[in-house]
Structure 1
Amino acid sequence: MTLLSTAQHIARDTRRDPRSHMVLIMVSVMIAAGAVALVAYLLWPTWVARPASAPQRLPVSVGATLFNVPTAAIRRKIQRHSGPQERVDLNFIFPSLEPPDAPKHVSADTIEEKVQPIDRIFISISAHHDSLAPDMRVRTIYPRYLEQAATPLDGGLTMRGFREGSPYANEDLFSATTPNLNARCTRDGLTPGMCLSERRVDGADLTFRFPRSWLSQWRDVANAMDRLTAQMREPRG
């Protein structure tokens, strides 16, 4: 009301003094600018856009077989998407089986970390394209190259070495039935020995890799592979 009265007063003065019409124009502009500013203030959004966080698990299809994998466990950034993939590489902390934290970058100050014991179990899920199944390889291919003698180890685990000159020279095959385990392991040398254990799930093969030294707790390792396989096959929650 005060602004209206002022405008009316200026209009009367304009009739007396024609030069005062400039004052009226300036006041009108000020009133319009104030109104626009008030409307803009009232309508301006108060929310702040935030980037969407990555989902904890991703549904991926490998060999037409569905897996729900923890996003943080995927080793390669290019594989961190849902949908069909030819291969997915994962790693989990052992024995907790939790996805690892952010990868550590090696520098001159942290170079010593490279020789620390491995605390992860690595998994590769790949389409098998009807290749020979892992259990068939254990039953039909490996026996051709194994030594005859078998060495019994802790609680039902046995070891048979591969013959020198065979495709698997400098490796040993470890087997057990309860829980089930078949692992082909390199022998310790300049680098610690590593084990490879495979299993087939519908159209995909799962390849587990872990240090040979873990065979001292082989039951825990076998159960961990079973648990990880079951968890990745569970429906997405």
Structure 2
Amino acid sequence: MTLLPSVPRRSRGSVRPQRGHLAPLLASALITALAISLVAWLLWPTWAPKAFENDEPLPVSIGETLFNVPPRAFRMRVQRHSGPQERIDLNFVYPLLTAPGAPKRVTAETIDETPQPIDRIFLSIAAHHDSLAPDILVHTVYPRYLDETRTHANEGLLMQAFRDGTPYAGEDLFVAEAPPLAARCTRDAATPGMCLSERRVGGADLTFRFPRQWLTKWRDVAGAMERLVEQLHGPQN
């Protein structure tokens, strides 16, 4: 008869830890998780939503020039904060010049195939870093590329076309003296023409953009831009 070697039996305590040891470990882990959650809740920032709900103007410094900007006027969420910035992009409802409200949700049932008219005036404010001033562009640089012919686009508003083959080919320059206005505009094509008008305030350049068709009432547009500057920065000398 062949004898099989006997296998020694393991003691009960060496197989696995007793179930009684798991309860304190689970309780400790649960307490730690609750403590972390409580600390995170207490430290979570709450000032940003309140500032947006109150709609109080945010002081923004651009090129060391102070502007007070309504929070809802910002086009990009990342720019919606106070303090120094290199550039901000804004939009205002025209002609009221108020900051737009929350955007309406568009669904397949409510969308309209017909393009909606633009009712916003867009404004970008950026530090100029001693670049050419807008008035130098209008009176010194642009004339090099303009056609000699001037036409009266509207009462008190003159128009000159940029020559083909120049950096501004396909655009027109509109100029008026009272009230002052200078706007470089693309021409209507597949999309409506848009105008660009610039001015310098302190260490920042302000670039306004609006539809070309608004120039039929150009005095209203010139006055709107002046009022926006006063709202954001104060009266200009």
Deviation at 1:101, TM superposition (A): 1.1
Deviation at 1:112, TM superposition (A): 2.2
Report the equivalent of 1:112: 112
Deviation at 1:129, TM superposition (A): 0.7
Deviation at 1:193, TM superposition (A): 0.1
Structure-2 separation of matches of 1:99 and 1:82: 17
Local SS of the residue matching 2:155:
helix
Report the equivalent of 2:61: 61
Structure-1 separation of matches of 2:107 and 2:184: 33
Distance 1:199 1:115, change over 3 A: same
Q: Does 1:153 align with 2:160?
A: no
Structure-2 separation of matches of 1:113 and 1:71: 31
Structure-1 separation of matches of 2:211 and 2:114: 15
Given that 1:60 and 1:68 are in contact with CA atoms closer than 8 Å, whether structure 2 keeps it comes out as yes
Structure-1 separation of matches of 2:185 and 2:93: 20
Q: Does 1:164 align with 2:169?
A: no
Structure-2 separation of matches of 1:121 and 1:160: 23
Deviation at 1:103, TM superposition (A): 2.2
Local SS of the residue matching 1:100:
coil
Deviation at 1:53, TM superposition (A): 4.1
Deviation at 1:94, TM superposition (A): 0.6
Local SS of the residue matching 1:148:
strand
Report the equivalent of 2:136: 136
Report the equivalent of 2:91: 91
Report the equivalent of 2:41: none
Deviation at 1:104, TM superposition (A): 3.4
How large is the Cα RMSD of the aligned pairs?
Answer: 1.9
Report the equivalent of 1:52: 50
Deviation at 1:154, TM superposition (A): 1.9
Structure-2 separation of matches of 1:189 and 1:105: 29
Structure-2 separation of matches of 1:52 and 1:158: 48
1:142-198 deviation digits (Å, cap 9, x = unpaired): 001000000013221000000011110110000000000000000000000000000
User: Which amino acid counterpart does residue 189 of structure 2 have in structure 1?
Assistant: G
Local SS of the residue matching 1:122:
strand
Local SS of the residue matching 1:225:
helix
User: Which amino acid counterpart does residue 149 of structure 1 have in structure 2?
Assistant: T
1:9-45 deviation digits (Å, cap 9, x = unpaired): xxxxxxxxxxxxxxxxxxxxxxxxxxxxxxxxxxxxx
Structure-2 separation of matches of 1:229 and 1:181: 14
Local SS of the residue matching 1:112:
coil
Aligned length: 187
Local SS of the residue matching 1:56:
coil
Q: Does 1:203 align with 2:212?
A: no
Report the equivalent of 1:213: 213
TM-score by length of 1: 0.75
117-126 or 95-104, which moves further after superposition?
A: 95-104
102-111 or 119-128, which moves further after superposition?
A: 102-111
Q: Does 1:192 align with 2:192?
A: yes
Q: Which has the larger radius of gyration?
A: 1
Report the equivalent of 1:11: none
51-60 or 73-82, which moves further after superposition?
A: 51-60
Q: Gaps (5+ residues) in structure 1?
A: 1-48
Deviation at 1:110, TM superposition (A): 4.1
Structure-1 separation of matches of 2:154 and 2:50: 50
User: Which amino acid counterpart does residue 122 of structure 2 have in structure 1?
Assistant: F
Following TM superposition, the consecutive aligned residue runs of length 4 or more in structure 1 with deviations greater than 6 angstroms are none
Deviation at 1:109, TM superposition (A): 3.2
Structure-1 separation of matches of 2:216 and 2:210: 12
Deviation at 1:209, TM superposition (A): 0.1
